[in-house]
Amino acid sequence: MGIPLLAFFIGLFIAFTTNGTADNGDSVQHFLISKFSWEHPALFLDHWGKPLFTLLSSPFSQFGITGMKIFNLLVFCSTLFLTGKIAQSLRLSPFVAQIAFWACPYVFPQVFGGLTEHLFAFWLMASLLAYERKHFFLAAFLISWMPFIRSEGLMMLAVLGGFLFLEKQWKSLPLLLAGTVIYSIAGSFHHNDLLWVWTKTPYLIGADNYGSGKPFHFFEQLFYITGIVVMVAGCLGLIRLLTSPRKIKENKTLWLALSFFLVFLLAHSVFWTFGLFHSYGMSRVLMGVLPCFSLLAAFGVNWFQSIPNRKVQVFSQTIFIVGMLVLPFVIAKYKMEYPESFSANLAQIPFDEFIQKPNNFEQFETADYILSDSPHVRMQLKIDPWDTTATGNLWQLKHIDQYQDPIVIWDKHFSVIETGMQQNRLDEAGLLPRISLTEPERGDTIYVLYTKANSAHTFE
């Protein structure tokens, strides 16, 4: 419990002393869905929001974004605990396995927001531990819920199903459908569609404006996300596993962990290469399977115990452990720095500073309608995005004449990517740009606030 507890208390300090949200898009949108689910129960069945994540996080999100950070911190520390338990069961060092996960320089700063990857990683480790302990029914039942945390859960479900089939655990296979059956029935009353789990999948419908990229993009990003020491240790573990074919039965849990990891990595590589399923090439998705890689890293470090010379054995393992602990703060691309790594990003700062100035926040309160595509803007303005009488996104621009004194907040990312709204469309609608908010370092325009020409909201 030492490492998870240490991570928890450090995380508590960070959660209450920094203003970051992991990112300014999906993380905040998941928070908003979770927070307002109590007022709009249909959000508990929102496919994009991920129903199980929304259900479990909603009590915490009622306390604001800090409550959401505490939820994900608890989940992250629980994942560390489960990773240690699996390593211990495999006769590996729980300490090394936990440090290999926690020390990935990209991971810990992403805990402090509303991202779903952390709950995905926790659920995957819970299923893996159940499998390791031969609780096959429990493993199948647990993993059946993962598609309602992240859509990649379908792939994890298929991988475990393959292993259960090879284990001849026929009776446990139907439980792989438990989560889907229960959510299909529950959601059918709202969606009027028993197959809503499939027909309402957001990644299969709508325009895909997210582009495509290089086939090995995620392999490159893995190196930066894990850091060089964890990456080398994980590769050593992979080599050791592949060169031990006679020990497949002994290492079957590691083979399952490797299968989870590789299927996830390869699938996202294919999605990004061909621009499928609204893939955006985001590195953070890999966090969902990094505990699997940390087990491989512990397996790799454990290899040094086979060295006959005790001093060389201890020295080699010590080098890896010290490297994992030190390098994320020194030379990693995503090196951790307090408070910078846990603070608002450059796209959030301009609006945060703007609404803190006298009278600016109050001007939004007196607007009769607010249009914005940015989850961060909605959060900072304390807007209920599902109250359509007071707010909407820029798709509603065509109805702007219905409102006497609206405020429209155009931003260079969400307005362009999500609603395809270029600035000239607002000019053509007869709106007047009142103020531009720029990024502090490069001076790029991030937000432009528009009103009608006769508006009382001039933001002067």
- Of 298, 319, 341, which marks where a domain is finished? 341
How many other C-beta atoms lie within 10 A of the C-beta of residue 183? Answer: 20
Question: Taking 80 as the threshold, does the pLDDT of residue 241 lie above it?
Answer: yes
Which residues does residue 449 pair with via DSSP β-bridges, in sequence order?
A: 409, 435
Per-residue pLDDT of 280-298, as tens digits, reads 778 899 999 999 999 999 9
- When divided into structural domains, the chain yields a total of 2
The answer as to whether 456 is a domain residue is: no
Pair (19, 73) in one structural domain = yes
Q: Give the mean pLDDT of 163-175.
A: 96
pTM: 0.95
Task: State how far the alpha carbon of 53 is from the alpha carbons of 8, 122, 171, 218, 417, in Å.
Answer: 20, 12, 28, 25, 25
399 and 337 housed in the same domain? no
Q: Give me the pLDDT at residue 459, please.
A: 82
Residue ranges of alpha helices (H) inside 167-227 are 178-191, 196-199, 217-226
Q: Residues 160, 176: one domain? A: yes
Greater confidence, 322 or 51? 51
Question: Does 309 reside within a domain?
Answer: yes
Whether 204 and 302 map to the same domain: the answer is: yes
The pLDDT of 324-339, averaged and rounded, is 81
Structure confidence at residue 315 (pLDDT): 83
User: Does residue 459 sit within a domain?
Assistant: no
Among 293, 312, 341, which residue terminates a domain? 341
Most confident of 285-299, 318-332, 433-447: 285-299
Residues 55 and 116 in one domain: yes
Do 50 and 179 belong together in one domain? Answer: yes
> Do 280 and 373 fall within a single domain?
no
Comparing 151-155, 323-327, 354-358, the range with the smallest average pLDDT is 323-327
Separation CA 361–CA 195 (nearest Å): 44
Last residue of a domain, one of 285, 319, 341: 341
CA distance 394 to 431: 13
What percent of the chain is modeled with pLDDT above 90? 69
| CA nearest neighbour of 88 among 242, 231, 207, 253 | 253
Q: Are residues 310 and 433 in the same domain?
A: no
- Whether 419 is covered by a domain: the verdict is yes
Q: Kindly state whether residue 444 falls inside one of the protein's structural domains.
A: yes
Do 209 and 357 belong to one domain?
no
User: What confidence tens digit (pLDDT) does each residue in 171-228 have?
Assistant: 999 999 999 999 999 999 998 999 999 888 877 654 455 667 788 888 999 998 998 8
Q: Does a structural domain hold residue 390?
A: yes
In the chain, what percentage of residues exceed pLDDT 70? 96
Side-chain half-sphere exposure of 183, counting CA atoms within 13 A: 23
Nearest to 73 by CA among 18, 25, 130: 18
Q: Is 306 a residue whose pLDDT tops 80?
A: no
pLDDT at 291: 98
In terms of domains, do 130 and 155 share one?
A: yes
pLDDT at 207: 46
Residue corresponding to tokens 């060295």: 307
Check: CB of residue 201 under 8 Å from CB of residue 47.
Answer: yes
The answer as to whether 27 is a domain residue is yes
For 437, the domain range is: 349-451
Say what the pLDDT of residue 204 is: 66
Q: How many angstroms separate the CA atoms of 194 and 181, rounded? A: 9
Residue 441 banded pLDDT, cuts 50, 70, 90: confident
pLDDT band at 101; cut points 50, 70, 90 = very high
Number of H helices, E strands in the chain: 20, 5
* Average pLDDT estimate for 136-161: 97
Same domain, 379 and 405: yes
- Contacts of residue 411, defined as CB under 8 A and 6 or more positions apart, other chains included, come to 372, 373, 374, 377, 446, 447, 448
Q: Is residue 460 part of a domain?
A: no
Instruction: Clarify whether residues 270 and 400 are in a common domain.
Output: no
